[in-house]
A = this chain, B = another copy of it.
Amino acid sequence: MSPIEVSLQAALDALGDPVRRRIVRELAVVPDWTRPCGTFNDLPVAKSTLSHHFAVLRNVGLLEQRDEGTRRLNRLRRAEFDARFPGLLTLVLAEDEG
């Protein structure tokens, strides 16, 4: 899904979850295609829940994934999402988890 087709409602729903915002922040600080899904096991959710979070992020155009061997690698679609929803990702990246 390209962010261009995404509604504000869907974007707000996706980013309304603190675990998804944390995934976004963690991907923002590593190069594209370097962080496999399997390395997010420090998050306080079940593996199936984590898969759901990744799917939601893909569906609003925030995340792109590709398989490489047994690993599923991730890329944050930062520029594309910024172009569609200016400022929104910046707020998420600047968030203090407290």
A interface residue numbers (CB < 8 A to B): 7-9, 12-13, 15-16, 18, 21, 85-88, 90-92, 95, 98
Contacts and interface: CB of A to CB of B under 8 A. Distances in A.
B15 A92 contact: no
Nearest to A11: B91
Main SS at interface, chain A: helix
Q: How many copies does the complex hold?
A: 2
A12 B9 contact: no
Top 8 A-B residue pairs of the complex, sorted by shortest distance between their CB atoms: A87-B87, A12-B16, A8-B95, A16-B16, A86-B87, A85-B91, A8-B91, A12-B12
A53 to B, nearest CB: 15
Given A16-B16, A86-B91, A87-B88, 15 more contacts: A7-B98, A8-B95, A9-B16, A9-B18, A12-B12, A12-B15, A12-B16, A13-B16, A85-B91, A86-B87, A86-B90, A87-B87, A87-B90, A88-B88, A88-B91
